[in-house]
Amino acid sequence: MLVVLVYLGVVAPLRQRLRHTQAILERQEKLSSLGVLAAGVAHEIRNPLTSIKARLFTQQPLLPQGSPAWEDNVFITEEISRLEQIVRDFLAFARPTEPRFATLKATEPMRDLLPLLQPELSKSKIELKQEFLADPLIRADASQLKQVLINLVKNAADALGANGTITLRTRTETQGRGPHATTRAVLEVQDTGPGIPPEVQPRLFDRFLPPRPVARAWA
């Protein structure tokens, strides 16, 4: 009986944890292969987009400015530029650069978001608020961290649709007690949307997961 209790109390949880880790590794390998394939496709898409944009550029001076044909040319050129940006963002996601760590204040990347995103959010009657409860120094890549926060705000806006509030918050959080206690900085993007469906939460950090409403996330 003692042997059985030891097995159930020690060995069984370890085996379960091992199976879980193996499942995660297998999933990451599949996602990595998919990322390489998708990046190759994105690269091939970029080449014809560049050619089409070049042809539109040469045609534009030949069209009467303000004419329907000229306006169509401008519209198509702008949409192609948007597609090119999507492809560039995707390639950067598939092959991310090494972070350039620097010491900065936690509120620094947050402060840039208000003037950058509020005008667009206002069209949907979404308010972007700042709530800086602390401003500790952190080590991070400012550019990459800012992009993460922008993505979180956009996800929150998609979840809200219209008429809501997104709050950018910085605070500190202490873990443990006594001499072993540690304090860390927390950057939050919180919205008044419906939240993340329970069935999606286990796959929250999977790559290429279709966009879902995001209620709150932190980095």
CATH 3.30.565.10 fits 102-218, yes or no: yes
DSSP class of 7: I
Q: Residue 58: what residue type?
A: T
Give the pLDDT confidence score for residue 202 in this predicted structure: 77
The tens-digit pLDDT sequence of the chain (219 residues) is 545 555 555 666 667 777 777 766 666 666 566 666 677 777 778 788 888 888 898 898 899 998 999 999 988 988 888 788 777 777 766 666 678 899 999 999 899 888 888 888 998 999 999 999 999 999 998 888 988 898 899 889 988 888 999 999 999 999 888 888 889 999 999 999 888 788 877 777 665 554 443 333 333
DSSP three-state, residue 49: helix
| Tokens (6 digits) for 205 | 């950090």
DSSP string, 168-209: EEEEEEEESSGGG-EEEEEEEEEESS----TTTGGGTT-TTP
Q: How far apart, in whole angstroms, are the C-alpha atoms of residue 5 and residue 178?
A: 34
For 137, phi then psi, to 5°, come to: -80, 140
Question: 114 CB contacts (<8 Å, ≥6 apart)?
Answer: 128, 130, 168
Length reported for the chain:
219
Q: Which pTM was predicted?
A: 0.56
